[in-house]
Chains A and B, each alone.
Chain A
């Protein structure tokens, strides 16, 4: 896993509540192998208008957001299906953090395991941030994971919480499986006492 330290990048707003993983990546792309660039399928249906051409009003299709690495979304982002492909699509597209007032539970845990940092900020802060990003496309946000702070384009700083172990894994670029494999003895002991 890539290390996550400090990130200053363009933030892309998604002004929609309950944005589900079916929208983030439509189910017909789940059959693609992981070696594919899932970024190509990110919001595949909404990035294109009804006639199949890119709809220019969408932030994803605007040059100002081309270098975005941070998504700012409304409440309950990533709800619905457990597909990890939603995280891969965001990650492969170049995103490294998502800021929202709340997340779908499975999406949030999938994100942490793939180097995409989900950050919960208060709803009024996020609403203001989205309005600001829409008014000034291309503005940057800074995420400092070791310090657990986000600095917005208006200079205000906001602390966020993150699971300490997930933080440790992200900052050091290591994954949980390696850690658990080191506990094989404990697991085997449990299995012996547990029975079948």
Chain B
């Protein structure tokens, strides 16, 4: 990093970065100290790397584990893991964490859940921290004003062994979102609109700071949703400066500072924002009042349109390359150009994931489902992001709303977001999903994914089609 930034106005990224730099290498990479390392049931290969070199985790107290990718969601019983390789992955996590003295939220622990839901919920993800996990959606935790990013298995091994990581400082991009969100429009719609606008590589090589009045007005859950999908715009990290909303969410969480420590921490966290005059390498401005509920029609998250639109025509694409990509996407999705998006019938609904598996998401979906029934022929699931989200929803009676309407009320896990636990969408089936990736084969070979907000997924469940939730809200 250049010295000028030490003296002039600094960005939030500069502040976090400088505080964690152990040393700088001639080639411009810095060795960063890592405050928090989350591991899950896909981390086994990293422990293999350690074992092969006779190394042990350096700072187990900074490391926390949860089982999410391979856990069954119809049962909490290990015997329900019906595949030996999946069971091996969960058992490996339990064993590796146990041997190293790493605290772990395993199957059966009420706190178990998706790593990016559990970390925030436990107060493990705090402002100013560096946070890593072998999962690209680690960007989620940036919503607290932390530098949080996904890493590969080799890097996990490096962090386990040294509690540090070599990094080159990314470029810093600011996304300013201003204005009031219209009725029926949520954080998910904002981030889908952003990705449709800048593209899936729009933030490549950058970390994003989200700011503006829309962001300031968002709940912590909404901010987590936005930061979560930063990686879908190609940005490895997304950060939001902490404020009263952040502090209110964190206060009293099990691993958040308590008492006098809490006061000290908050005082320090108040300094975690980009100084006036700090320089960003790029800035994008979005008008929130112009955003409509969004839905994807293709096979990358940038293939998103307002729900009142139509399936676009590849012939109208700006470049031959885009024409070809769109043609391929529509063929896979089984959609014809010009079809009204609201005419597209769906087979499955998945409400859950680290993007939209939090309590506020379930409340929004339940509000739409209330007093309605899942459409004939549609199989609809709610998979809470954690055991605690599930318990909270049950305390509020949301589970009954869903079950009465014909939804399946499942246990916490990644589930149908990427289907590694066996919860899949069948080939050719069309799924309205609150997850983050509509990639080819993501929810199972041949599965067709439409990304949308929880309220929109609920609307799709009760109508059997992609539907504009605003109309259901007006009637309801």
Chains A and B belong together in one complex: yes
Using A28-B419, A102-B201, A180-B166 as known contacts, say yes or no to A82 and B321 having CB atoms under 8 A apart: no
**Can you show 24 pairs from A to B with CB atoms below 8 A apart?**
A20-B300, A23-B440, A27-B418, A30-B42, A31-B86, A31-B420, A45-B445, A76-B200, A79-B234, A82-B135, A83-B42, A84-B153, A102-B204, A106-B152, A110-B152, A163-B168, A164-B27, A165-B25, A177-B154, A180-B162, A180-B166, A184-B162, A187-B33, A187-B164
Residues of chain B lying within 8 A (CB to CB) of residue A114: 154
A148 within 8 A of B: no
Interface string of B160-189 (1 = CB under 8 A from A): 011110101010000000000000000000
A36's nearest neighbour on chain B, judged by CB, is: B85
CB B229 to nearest CB in A, in angstroms, measures: 12
* A17-B321, A32-B85, A45-B445 known; A187-B439 Cβ under 8 A: no
Judge whether B445 and A26 touch: CB under 8 Å: yes
- Set of chain A residues within 8 Å of B53, measured between Cβ atoms: 177
B229-245 CB contact bits vs A (8 Å, 1 = yes)? 00100101000000000
Most B C-beta atoms less than 10 A away, residue of A31, A81, A164, A177: A31
The one of A17, A28, A45 in contact with B420, judged by C-beta atoms closer than 8 angstroms, is: A28
- Cα separation A74 to B85 with both chains bound (whole Å): 34
Task: Give A75 to B302 CA distance when docked, in angstroms.
Answer: 15
> Which residue of A26, A104, A109, A163 is within 8 Å of B155 (Cβ)?
A109
* Contact of B306 with A by CB under 8 A: no
Most chain B CB inside 10 Å of its own CB: which residue of A28, A83, A105, A164 = A105
- Whether A113 and B162, one on each chain, are in contact in the complex, defined by CB atoms closer than 8 angstroms, is no
Select which of B23, B44, B446 is within 8 A of A186 by beta carbon. Answer: B23
A74 contacts across to B, CB distance below 8 A: 321
Please, which residue of chain B has its CB at the minimum distance from the CB of A26? B441
A113, B45: Cα distance in complex, Å: 14
Report B15-38 CB contacts with A as 1/0, cut-off 8 Å: 000000011011101010100000
User: Contacts of A163 on B, CB cut-off 8 Å?
Assistant: 27, 29, 168
Decide yes or no whether A124 CB sits under 8 A from chain B. no
A75 nearest CB across to chain B (Å): 7
Question: Which residues of chain B have C-beta atoms less than 8 A from A17's C-beta?
Answer: 321, 325
For residue A177, give the distance in angstroms from its CB to the closest CB of chain B: 5
The 4 closest A-B pairs by CB, nearest first: A110-B152, A84-B152, A82-B150, A82-B136
What is the CA–CA distance of A80 and B441 in the complex, to the nearest angstrom? 13
A28 / chain B contacts, CB cutoff of 8 Å = 419-420
The 8 Å CB contact of B152, one of A16, A76, A113, A184, is A113
Q: Given A22-B439, A110-B152, A194-B33, A104 and B157 touching (CB < 8 A)?
A: no
A106 touches B42 (CB 8 A): no
Q: How far apart are the CA atoms of A104 and B469 in the complex, in Å?
A: 34
Q: Is A142 an interface residue (CB 8 A)?
A: no
Rounded to whole Å, the gap between the CB of A36 and the closest CB of chain B is 10
Give the Cβ gap from A129 to chain B, nearest Cβ, in Å: 15
- CA A175 – CA B55 in complex, angstroms? 15
Chain A contacts for B236, CB-based, 8 A = 105-106
Which A residues fall within an 8 A CB radius of B? Answer: 16-18, 20, 22-23, 26-28, 30-34, 45-46, 50, 74-76, 79-84, 87, 102, 104-106, 109-110, 113-114, 163-165, 175-177, 180-181, 183-184, 186-187, 190-191, 194
The answer to whether A76 touches B419, judged by C-beta atoms less than 8 angstroms apart, is: no
Contact A34 B201 (CB under 8 A): no
183-204 of chain B: CB within 8 A of chain A: 200-201, 204
Known: A34-B48, A113-B152. A177 touches B27 (CB 8 A): no
Q: Is the CB of B448 closer than 8 A to any CB of chain A?
A: no
Q: Are A18 and B325 in contact (CB under 8 A)?
A: yes
What is the CA–CA distance of A33 and B89 in the complex, to the nearest angstrom?
9
| Residue in A20, A31, A183 whose beta carbon sits within 8 Å of that of B23 in the complex | A183
Q: What's the least CB distance linking A19 to chain B, in Å?
A: 10
Q: Which residues of chain A have C-beta atoms less than 8 A from B300's C-beta?
A: 18, 20
Contacting residues of chain B (60-98) with chain A, CB-CB under 8 angstroms: 69-70, 83, 85-86, 88-89
Q: Which of B152, B162, B201 contacts A82 (CB 8 A)?
A: B152
